[in-house]
Structure 1
Amino acid sequence: MLKRISQLLVAGLLLSSAASAQDMSEVKIEASKVAGNVYMLKGRGGNIGVLSTNEGLVLVDDQFQALAEKIEAAMKQINDKPLKYVINTHFHGDHTGSNAYFAEKAPIFAHENVRARLAADERVSAKALPVVTYEGGVTIYLDNEEIQLTHLPSGHTDGDTVVYFKKANVLHTGDLFFELGFPFIDINRGGNVRGYLKNVKYMIDNTPDNVVIIPGHGKITDKDGLKAFAQMIEDCIVRVEAALKAGKSEADILAMGVEEKYKSKSWAFINEERWLKTLVAGLQ
């Protein structure tokens, strides 16, 4: 059952090529300054990061193909300099849907598994593939900013990258952080429940306490927000693990639910039931 749910969820994420201009006609791309020369663009899909420098721009994720021109226009409002680099935090279509458009303007960086998964999808054109890949990570230097790309394995997917802008002290987490609620862990494509929590804790332990955070989904936040997210995941894991060890079935665990204080973490994409089914499948 979980596999079917996961397939349906990922299908929705990947169908960026099918999102017509009409579907996105009323979507507005809203820019917010994060810190230093880093901005966040919010539209539909994963949050976008933009670094603005005198030498050009860096784009972190690019939502859906139908929004590409709107995204570009929003970037030009920040700084009308050329796009220098594009970074994909993972392969899901709400983060890579405009790759083909922006690949004509700048090289795309991503973990090697992102290229492999996009290349295996017949709906994705060859020009949308990352052209610079890495295994553990890579550092990009642009103007006076140092951009650290770090691969964290077996979390949301098998190709996750977190992006740290060192001078600005801004972390873009990709979908290793859903500030708005329960996370989506793509178990069928390299994601792992315990690995996800481990990666969230890695970010907590390896960034300054005053870091400003762009989550994959949700609003701009800080390390306290990330810590609360980690605690929620850990509490849910402990609760479900205990139930499984006691011989409880999936139906029992769904009836039990999450702790009352986490009921509000349900949202349109990952509600309480889907989150619990992910935990059951990932912890057995």
Structure 2
Amino acid sequence: MNSIKLFSISIFITFSMQSQKKEVQIITTKISDQVFMLKGQGGNIGLFIGDDAVFMIDDQFAPLTPKILEAIKKITPKPVNYLMNTHWHGDHTGGNLNMQKEGALILAHKNVRKRMSVDQVIRGKVKKASPKEALPVITFTEDMMMHINNDDIYVSHIHKAHTDGDALVYFTKNNILHTGDAYFQGKFPYIDLSSGGSINGYIDGIQKMIVLANDETKIIPGHGNISNKRELISFKKMLVDLKSRIQTEIDNGKTLEEVKHNKKITKDYVSFNGWITEEKIKIAIYKSLNK
């Protein structure tokens, strides 16, 4: 009987996973004649097309690669030549191996390759090292430029924000900025302390985006909808306010438990609740400031 129950559970789990996979749809949004955003399951994908090459930003999870490639073929018949990883997390790099097999050259900050090369612990779970073929083959330290498709692409590292390997990608002539998870549109951000993230670095990263952007800049966040400079400014204010309030609590000798249950800290920003809740963002900021 137990073996029958286990078999039934196994079938149910497999069926559920397949159902979830089938339910994921890749939704394409045209931002300019050359730049598109693809939403599916995981981080938002950026796609830049032109006569020279097809340039892709992030690639979500491995099982979604066929759907993503199908969506890309509806935009351009050309293969993806370059793939930029904005950081190392699996919902942005899970398709690397598949894309490498498709002929894409993978680029990222040096810390992305470093973290993907060895086992990592994220949210208490071990993430196994990626195979060599899935690793970035071109890495940079601070900033780099790419000159393709009649545009100048500015790629810039943000220090210790979401992780220690975050990259912004700014299409200067198209005036479109892809932020990776250094910006969560309309929601509290995930600050991965175990991967070198910090509240101070996150705020500095948002400020860098604000400096790069103007009122016409279209912003592709790591998660959420297409955004703009006005929303970035509001987002920064939220982070600065929370940091200030939690720092005051720390200076007054408050414990993490006391801060976690203090609803006054986030009372003005309940609309930012999402995957990262009020409690989770308070924990992250408290631990970051106490490091």
Relative to the length of structure 1, the TM-score reads 0.90
The answer on 1:198 being equivalent to 2:195 is no
Deviations 1:122-150 (A, max 9, x none): 34211100000010121111121211111
CA distance in 2, matches of 1:241, 1:20: 43
Q: Which residue number in structure 2 is paired with residue 266 of structure 1?
A: 273
CA distance in 1 between counterparts of 2:203 and 2:158 reads 11
CA contact (8 A) 1:108 1:130 kept: yes
Counterpart of 1:5 in structure 2 is none
Cross-structure match for 1:214: 220
- Structure 1 residue 261, shift from structure 2 partner: 2.4
Match of 2:4 in 1: none
Cα–Cα, structure 1 residues 46 and 274, in superposed 2: closer, same or farther, change >3 Å? same
Where relative contact order (Cα < 8 A, 6+ residues apart) is larger, the structure is 1
- Kept after mapping to 2: 8 A contact 1:214/1:220: yes
What residue number does 1:113 align with? 111
Residues in 1 aligned to 2:136 and 2:143: alpha-carbon distance in whole angstroms: 14
Aligned partners of 1:198, 1:123: CA distance in 2, in Å? 30
- Counterpart contact for 2:261–2:279, Cα < 8 Å: no
Partners of 1:180 and 1:208 lie apart in 2 by 19
Aligned match of 1:43: 40
Q: CA RMSD in A?
A: 1.5
Q: Is the 8 A contact 1:89 1:161 kept in 2?
A: yes
Uncovered stretches (5+) of structure 1, i.e. residues with no partner: 1-18
In our comparison, the structure showing a higher alpha carbon Rg is 2
What is the DSSP-based 3-state SS (H/G/I as helix, E as strand, rest coil) of the residue aligned with 2:28?
strand
- The CA distance in 2 between the partners of 1:157 and 1:20, in whole Å, is 29
Q: Could you give the per-residue CA deviations for residues 183-235 of structure 1, whole angstroms, max 9, x where no partner exists? A: 01111111111111011111111333321100000000100111111111001
SS of 1:41 mapped into structure 2? strand
Q: CA deviation at 1:22?
A: 5.4
- From 258, 278, 281, the counterpart of 2:284: 278
Displacement of 1:56: 2.9
Paired residue secondary structure (2:204) = helix
Letter in 2 for 1:144: N
Q: Distance in 1 between matches of 2:136 and 2:17?
A: 23
Fraction of identical pairs, as percent? 38
- Aligned equivalent of 1:11: none
8 Å contact kept, 1:185–1:193? yes
Give the corresponding residue for 1:160: 166
Alignment correspondent of 1:66: 63
Answering whether residue 91 of structure 2 is matched by residue 94 of structure 1, we say yes
- Find the aligned partners of 1:123 and 1:109 in 2 and give their Cα distance: 17
Alpha carbons of 1:146 and 1:172: their partners in 2 closer, same or farther (altered >3 Å)? same
Counterpart-to-counterpart distance in 1, 2:158 and 2:118:
22
Q: Partners in 1 of 2:22 and 2:130 — Cα distance?
A: 22
1:6 corresponding residue in structure 2: none
Number of residues paired by the alignment? 265
Structure 1 residue 260, shift from structure 2 partner: 2.2
Aligned amino acid, residue 252 of structure 1:
E
CA distance in 2, matches of 1:155, 1:253: 22
Q: CA deviation at 1:21?
A: 5.8
Residue identity in the other structure for 1:111? H
Q: Contact (CA 8 Å) 1:46, 1:61: kept in 2 or not?
A: yes
Shift of 1:107: 0.4
Give the C-alpha shift of residue 20 in structure 1. 6.5
Give the equivalent residue in structure 2 for 1:76: 73
Unmatched tracts of structure 2, length 5 or more = 1-15, 120-127
